[in-house]
Amino acid sequence: MNTNEIYSNFIKQEAKRLGFLSCGISKAGFLEEEAPRLEKWLNNNMNGQMSYMENHFDKRLNPSLLVDGAKSVISLLLNYYPSEFQNEESYKISKYAYGQDYHFVIKEKLKELLHFIQTEIGEVSGRAFVDSAPVLDKVWAAKSGLGWMGKNTNLITQKVGSFYFIAELIVDLELEYDAPTTDHCGSCTACIDACPTEAIVAPYVVDGSKCISYFTIELKENIPAEMKGKLDDWVFGCDVCQDVCPWNRFSKPHSEPLFQANPELLSFTKKEWEEITEDVFKEVFKNSAVKRTKLEGVKRNVAFLRD
């Protein structure tokens, strides 16, 4: 076993100890195939008002612009599939927002992993990324064999489906690289058929400006009137294309205490959503990703669903 393999095994074992579902490693380099895809997606305005997607185009495609001398992208998955679910009669939020904000939970684990690498291996420079910088995380995870990009553009694995977060460490250390896996969507079109707003405009192409997650989280102005009756009671995010994916029948509940849902959230009724106050919002969604929309955003979404 060569040094690169030994280091890679070390890193994967530590990632497992930290609670990550899986870890894959790919060679850092320019994402040649992604460049025209991203350009076309942006040119078709599929990012809607998410103008940040247009920023740092080069950095999205080239990890060495984020970390000097980048040699490896270490991709990690962290399961968030819950063991308990919301009251079925309630307005819905995405499962990833049930517990504490994943940015903080994962960032701590990544810091620990980077510290481990620097302690065990030596002088290694790197940066941790969790949705917070221009990194095409699903592309890197697919390149490192952690799954394939499904027709709903989520990363899917045969073992546990797609209910997990993706994060990465970009480091200036050469490692043993994993090979991509194959696509197992086959002829299935469940996600395309089920999308309430027809946001999956073609297999492997999602128009972000039509997605329920975009309307309920990213859009800062009023939700377009033509979306009336199409938001399927989602008040924050949307899981429809994942819920119908056959591979998600293999989802297993997570074991991360910080992702445990607030019991109050699980029992929330539509009436409680409609009458939510600042105090209740702060209590139920303390440290939650739902705080991104603020109380005003939640109230706007509830009003749109109710009226």
Catalytic residues: 131
CA distance 121 to 232: 50
Determine the angle formed by the axes of helices 102-120 and 3-17, rounding to 10 degrees. Answer: 140
Show the tokens assigned to 277. Answer: 């106050």
Work out the burial of residue 25: count CB atoms within 10 Å of its CB; fewer than 13 is exposed, 13-18 middle, 19 or more buried.
Answer: buried
C-alpha separations of 145 from 24, 113, 180 in Å: 6, 20, 4
Are residues 290 and 127 in contact, defined by beta-carbon separation less than 8 angstroms? no
CA distance 242 to 198: 14
